[in-house]
């Protein structure tokens, strides 16, 4: 495996997104939504203006869980199957490049574009709010941005895996949408439904571990559990054990969500 080949493919993917203004558009969306939430998130309670970083992050977490997985899945669902349909995949593979190098290059380039837009969008908001934040609050906000990047990379990895398995772009897009619905909307309802139907007799102790099977839930816990007031508001104090909510452990779980689908995609693509 030659890293120069991977870097070439990654650079092409990244600059393609820069040239078509995709990165700028996503960064602008993140900036507008984040600023709106920071200054107008409490308008229903009759208060306008920045209140606290805890309230802002808690609101942003809900936004990010819906938005970033969708953007990542849309960005990556045709990474491989799109090349196959356009007939350019065979041309690429006829060059001195392996399938592994092509797959990793495409993923890293797309991940770089998604990371850049996420950091640029939320980072600009951090700069605007920095005058009103202390060092601890800035640390929390930086952790939020980092976990947002990890969430995007996890769903991008899933999207690339779907792109490898799908027979055409139509099926790949359908699988991507179904994946978003499952992890963002359906998964938590299924877990909650099991608890309600069984009146908490089955699955209660396993609930914290079940949440680890959803990268969106891992992201939520990673951001919410470190803030005591918000943690109590969400009810995580009684549901999720502190020993399982260590940031480094949840970070490893998120890393597994990035590496796992990508490893499966690599195995399938090299066959």
Residue 268 DSSP SS3: helix
How many Cα atoms sit within 13 Å of 22 on the Cβ side?
Answer: 20
pLDDT reading at 231 higher than 60: no
The confidence score (pLDDT) of residue 112 equals 94
Give the predicted TM-score (pTM) of the model: 0.90
Question: Per-residue pLDDT tens for 113-149?
Answer: 999 999 999 998 888 887 777 787 788 889 899 999 9
**Tally of domains within the chain:** 1
Q: What are phi and psi of 44, to 5 degrees?
A: -65, -25
The model's pLDDT over 200-224, given as tens digits with 9 standing for 90+, comes to 565 567 777 888 899 999 998 888 8
Query: 136 and 142 in contact (C-beta within 8 Å)?
Result: no
d(CA 27, CA 21): 10
- What residues make up the domain containing 55? 1-268
Please give the residue that has the higher pLDDT: either 238 or 38: 38
């Amino acid at each position: 495996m030659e890293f120069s080949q991977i870097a070439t493919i990654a650079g092409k993917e990244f600059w393609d997104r820069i040239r078509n203004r995709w990165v700028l558009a996503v960064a602008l969306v993140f900036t507008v939504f984040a600023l709106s939430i920071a200054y107008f998130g409490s308008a229903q309670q009759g208060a306008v203006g920045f209140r606290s970083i805890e309230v802002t992050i808690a609101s942003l977490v809900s936004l990010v869980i819906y938005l970033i997985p969708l953007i990542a899945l849309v960005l990556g669902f045709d990474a491989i199957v799109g090349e196959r349909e356009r007939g350019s995949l065979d041309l690429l593979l006829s060059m001195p490049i392996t399938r592994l190098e092509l797959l990793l290059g495409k993923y890293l380039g797309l991940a770089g574009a998604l990371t850049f837009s996420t950091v640029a969008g939320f980072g600009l908001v951090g700069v605007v709010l920095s005058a009103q934040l202390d060092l601890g609050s800035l640390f929390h906000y930086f952790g939020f941005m980092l976990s947002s990047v990890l969430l995007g990379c996890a769903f991008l990895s899933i999207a690339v895996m779907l792109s490898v398995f799908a027979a055409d772009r139509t099926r790949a897009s359908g699988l991507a949408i179904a994946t978003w619905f499952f992890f963002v909307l359906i998964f938590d309802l299924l877990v909650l439904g099991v608890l309600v139907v069984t009146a908490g007799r089955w699955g209660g102790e396993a609930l914290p571990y079940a949440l680890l099977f959803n990268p969106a839930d891992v992201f939520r816990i990673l951001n919410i559990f470190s803030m005591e007031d918000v943690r109590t508001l969400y009810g995580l104090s009684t549901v999720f054990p502190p020993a399982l909510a260590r940031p480094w452990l949840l970070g490893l779980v998120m890393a597994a969500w990035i590496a796992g689908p990508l490893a499966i995609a690599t195995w399938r693509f090299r066959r």
